Amino acid sequence: MIQSSHIGYHCISCGEFSPADPFLYTCEKCDSNLDATYDYDKIKKGWSRKYLSGNRDRSIWRYLPLLPVAQNPEDTSIQVGGTPLVSQARLAQELGIQDLWLKDDTRNPSGSLKDRATEVGIQHAKELGYKIIAAASTGNAAASLACLSATHKMEAVIFAPSSAPPAKLTQILQYGAHLFPVNGSYDDAFDLSMDVVKATGWYLRSTGINPILSEGKKTVALEIAEQLNWEVPDQIFVPVGDGCIIGGVYKGFYDLHHLGWIDRLPKIVAVQAEGSSAIVNALKSGKIKPVNAETVADSIS
């Protein structure tokens, strides 16, 4: 059985290398975000596109050699990943482009791409011996954690702004997670989750700090490439909140390029709501400035 080839992490700011054990959320040297590192030469010797084509597992676990965990989950009763890439011929014609495809991740168990990150995060937490996993979220990530924690017999603790949509809060509770409404913004909920995790030693499922989660999200890029028979699309448009998804999309194609499975990288375009566009603004101006978000999309306002 092909195993993971994860060897550690590199800091995205100072380049400092950290081994996989002990697990760190951020760089010990400068406290910046970490990026998972793999032994690509080892992967090339034991894994190939031909080998992958014979794998009947359609979930994200078909890509285990490129994931930072030792093995697949014990419970595979629900499938994360393996979602359809849907051709949009009429819309492409209307837009005057040759081909247009939409990746439909609403087919995941809780209805969003966030399940990819949660699935890998939970497996990582279980391998490290954690029993409780916490997160701060305004919606989809919380629902994802509550849903998959129920499947994998983990205890989930969610910190969410009390102003979050009632439907989202109800979904969290229906899965049996512990919900702590916070009288404040998402930032307040995030800060509280950090304080609680430090005090309790629980595992933290928060995309802005846990490097494992972006690795789960990158599986959407691996699937897109495979579904297009390893032909790289010219451009990929990615909805962006804190940047974890778009970072994961890039990382997936980066991995495939290093393996020699694709011959180039796609142009990746960040898309944000005009009233909540901190990252797009920063890319255009070269300066990072916070924004007071105003948009009908409740999870980013």
Complete domains list, the chain, with CATH:
114-211 (3.40.50.1100)
How far is CA 124 from each of CA 42, 112, 119, 193, 294, rounded to the nearest angstrom? 21, 20, 9, 19, 35
- DSSP at 33: B
Determine the Cα–Cα distance for residues 38 and 156; give it in Å rounded to an integer: 29
Structure tokens that stand for 163 in this block: 């102003």
pLDDT tens readout for residues 5-46? 999 999 999 999 999 989 999 999 999 999 999 999 999 999
Q: Is the peptide bond before 22 cis (omega within 30 degrees of 0)?
A: yes
Q: Which residues contact 1 (CB under 8 A, 6 or more apart)?
A: none
Q: How much is the pTM?
A: 0.95
Determine the Cα–Cα distance for residues 139 and 278; give it in Å rounded to an integer: 19
Tokens 């994961």 identify what position? 248
- Please answer whether residues 109 and 140 qualify as being in contact, where contact means their C-beta atoms are separated by less than 8 angstroms: no
Written as tens digits, the pLDDT of the chain (301 aa) is 567 899 999 999 999 999 998 999 999 999 999 999 999 999 999 999 999 999 999 999 999 999 999 999 999 899 999 999 999 999 999 999 999 999 999 999 999 999 999 999 999 999 999 999 999 998 899 999 999 999 999 999 999 999 888 888 999 999 999 999 999 988 899 999 999 999 999 999 998 899 999 999 999 999 999 999 999 999 999 999 889 999 999 999 999 999 999 999 999 999 999 999 999 999 999 999 988 888 877 666 5
Structure tokens that stand for 22 in this block: 């002990």
Helix (H) or strand (E) holding 9: strand 6-11
Sheet holding 34-38, edge to edge: 17-19, 6-11, 34-38
Structure tokens that stand for 159 in this block: 């910190």
How far is CA 76 from each of CA 10, 125, 202, rounded to the nearest angstrom? 31, 17, 24
Structure tokens that stand for 89 in this block: 């011929």
